[in-house]
Amino acid sequence: MTDASATAPRRPGEQALTALGLGAPALDPADASPHSFPGGGRWRTEVPSCEGPEALAVVLKEASRLDVPVHRISQGSGVWMLTDAEITEMVEATAERDIELCLFTGPRGTWDIGGSTRTDSHGAGLRARGHDAVAGCVEDAVRATELGVKCLLVADEGVLWTLHRARAAGILPADTTLKVSALVGPVNPASFAVHEQLGADSINVPSDLTLAHLTEIRRVSAAPMDMYIEAPDDLGGYVRMYEVAELIRRGAPVYLKFGLAKAPGIYPYGHHLREVALSTAKERVRRGRLALDLLARHGADGGMAPLGSRLPGDLRRFDIPS
């Protein structure tokens, strides 16, 4: 836990606006999240959409060049889009730097033969349609963890519960973490808490949630929250850099995800998309540097969790039937 009443950092334009008689109301201490990551720290960083070893190498090189601390690197196309050799290369490269690698699991509704996702209602979205889709996700999870992957990205509540049960049963390593995708992220406190109970260790909320929404969520759950500081266009294209300090204050423990708007979609990735994948990977790291610079200018860059930390701490779970 951290002291929610700690002195607030400077807000953007605060001194100038106060001098002009336009100062903002004081922050309400009751809005601050009382939670933190185990071992200390209120925020971690994530570079998403890193679609293979070559893109990973770009991210690692640029993060070193720009001095961007990275806790987690995630991929969006899926385990099934990578060879064993590619996964092993990514596992080794991230392990060498003590960075968590997160790979997406299995088939998803937007790519299969079902037509409902192409209607105006978008049907069931990314969820796993039928037994075979769930089986594909489990296959990916087992294969990835056997190759050393420690974090799995999930886009279906049933798959989440199944993988949590597999983890409890020893089918997956006990220290495997399960991350809920932004594409199915919960939008209210009740649904956020349900995802935690189903086994989520890290829950991506949509980037259009208000600051008040984050406070509401934190009143019912301490599970780590993932949030795009800049969201891809298919998730709204929101850019919230000037809110980073307040997102941390309200949403901690939170992963700051450095996404990229106005960029072509690259899922499912293949070498035909190589140039855009590499250029956008590099730019995501630069966006991270911009966000961290803003935090520093406002005196809000303290409280980062130690590099190499990855576990979520004690979370609430539904009982697993025997």
Q: What is the mean pLDDT of residues 103-107?
A: 91
Q: Please give the pLDDT value at position 107.
A: 81
- pLDDT-based confidence at 3, cuts 50/70/90? very low
Question: Is 60 exceeded by the pLDDT of residue 52?
Answer: yes
Nearest CA to 291 out of 235, 236, 228 is that of 228
**By the 8 A CB rule, do 106 and 130 touch?**
no
Q: If DSSP codes are grouped into helix, strand and coil, which group holds residue 68? A: coil
Whole-number mean pLDDT of the chain? 92
Question: Is 90 exceeded by the pLDDT of residue 101?
Answer: yes
- pLDDT-based confidence at 1, cuts 50/70/90? very low
Q: Is the peptide bond before 173 cis (omega within 30 degrees of 0)?
A: no
> Measured between alpha carbons, how far is 289 from 296 in angstroms, rounded to an integer?
10
Question: Is 70 exceeded by the pLDDT of residue 2?
Answer: no
Give me the CATH topology for the region 33-297. Answer: TIM Barrel (3.20.20)
What ranges make up the beta strands (E) of the chain? 43-47, 72-74, 100-104, 151-154, 177-180, 202-204, 225-230, 254-258
- Which range, 55-69, 105-119, 268-282, has the best average confidence (pLDDT)? 55-69
Q: Please give the pLDDT value at position 180.
A: 96
How deeply is 155 buried, as exposed, middle or buried, from its count of CB atoms within 10 A (0-12, 13-18, 19+)?
buried
Q: Please give the pLDDT value at position 187.
A: 93
Convert the pLDDT of each residue in 141-192 to its tens digit.
999 999 999 999 999 999 999 999 999 999 999 999 999 998 888 999 999 9
Q: Please give the pLDDT value at position 286.
A: 97
- pLDDT-based confidence at 122, cuts 50/70/90? low
Convert the pLDDT of each residue in 232-258 to its tens digit.
988 888 899 999 999 999 999 999 999
**By the 8 A CB rule, do 112 and 85 touch?**
no
Q: Please give the pLDDT value at position 258.
A: 96
* Domain ranges across the chain: 33-297
Nearest CA to 47 out of 90, 82, 111, 108 is that of 90
Convert the pLDDT of each residue in 264-275 to its tens digit.
888 888 899 899
Convert the pLDDT of each residue in 254-265 to its tens digit.
999 999 999 988
- DSSP letters along 127-180, please? S--HHHHHHHHHHHHHHHHHTT--EEEE--HHHHHHHHHHHHTTSS-TT-EEEE
Question: Is 70 exceeded by the pLDDT of residue 131?
Answer: yes
Q: If DSSP codes are grouped into helix, strand and coil, which group holds residue 306? A: coil
110 or 218: which carries more pLDDT confidence? Answer: 218
Looking at the whole model, is its pTM more than 0.85? yes
